Amino acid sequence: MKKLLLSSLLFFSVSMVNADSNVALKQVIDSEHRSDQNKKRDIYRHPLETLDFFEVDPNMSVIEIWPGGKAWYTEILAPYLKDNGILYAAHFSADAKVPYFAKNRQQFNDKVSAQPEYYGNINVTVLQPPHSLEIAPKASVDRVLTFRNVHNWMKNGQVNAVFNAMYKALKPGGILGVVEHRAIASSEQDPKALSGYVTEAYVIALAKKAGFKLLDKSEINANPKDTTDYVKGVWTLPPSLRLKGQEKEKYLAIGESDRMTLKFIKK
């Protein structure tokens, strides 16, 4: 009877903590500091449900991989973790020789420096394989999150190095959350992923090779309208719309890509 009572109390306490975390997360997502442009994409990216699925709590240490210039998830993660957690932004080098990398890093710097009250505590590290892979101290973080990046590492032939770096940074029992453009399961995987799409099976195999175990998968970010067979790959769809005005309404009606949402644990 005592064990049952203690178990019930523990479940109730955990449920209350999770509920409080969700309220705090929703407040950040709805906050005025987020750009209108970024908020418009919530309908496709489902940040509340995605971060809840990855079990991100405000007292955790978290790495966001390649946050980009617009800092879409950083807008949410930084203020959410600011008081009790730690956020690492594993970004491009400020001295990157590739113009796209340098531009993205500068845009990110400009954005976070303009609102230090939200972003002042971010620890910016460098992830630029094959030379810069120390994204946080070894076995120091609770979560590593990557959003639509796997295809980029495949294209550059650095995907295994990055998965190894993410594994190294996580604590034992820590979670890796992956969101990626999803190829049709029966399709043959291009090892360079030039279309931007990757099969779930391929991502799971990459994670397992690095030592991760698949915990769960979710259809939070699924889009059944996405046929994945476009001339310009995933960038045919919004927000890129690489075909410019050609059949724009068709691609807007499809929306952003179909995405896998996978949760792995470091054994």
Strand partners of residue 264:
176, 214
pLDDT in tens, 202-261: 999 999 999 999 999 999 999 999 999 999 999 999 999 999 889 999 999 999 999 999
Residue keyed to tokens 């295809």: 151
Band of the pLDDT at 1, cuts 50, 70, 90? Answer: low
The highest-confidence range among 117-121, 151-155, 244-248, by mean pLDDT, is 151-155
CATH code, domain carrying 259: 3.40.50.150
Put simply, whether the predicted model's pTM sits higher than 0.85 gets the answer yes
Of residues 155, 226, 233, the one with CA closest to residue 197: 233
Band of the pLDDT at 120, cuts 50, 70, 90? Answer: confident
**Distance of alpha carbon 7 from alpha carbon 128, whole angstroms:** 46
Determine the average pLDDT of the residues in 153-169: 98
- Which of 31-45 are b and which e, b meaning 16 or more Cβ less than 10 Å from the residue's Cβ? eeebeeebbeeeeeb
pLDDT in tens, 23-35: 999 999 999 999 9
Q: Structurally, how many domains does the chain consist of?
A: 1
Q: CA quadruple 206, 181, 213, 264: dihedral positive or negative?
A: positive
**Distance of alpha carbon 194 from alpha carbon 47, whole angstroms:** 26
Residue numbers of the domain that contains 65: 2-266
Determine the average pLDDT of the residues in 97-109: 95
**Distance of alpha carbon 237 from alpha carbon 257, whole angstroms:** 7
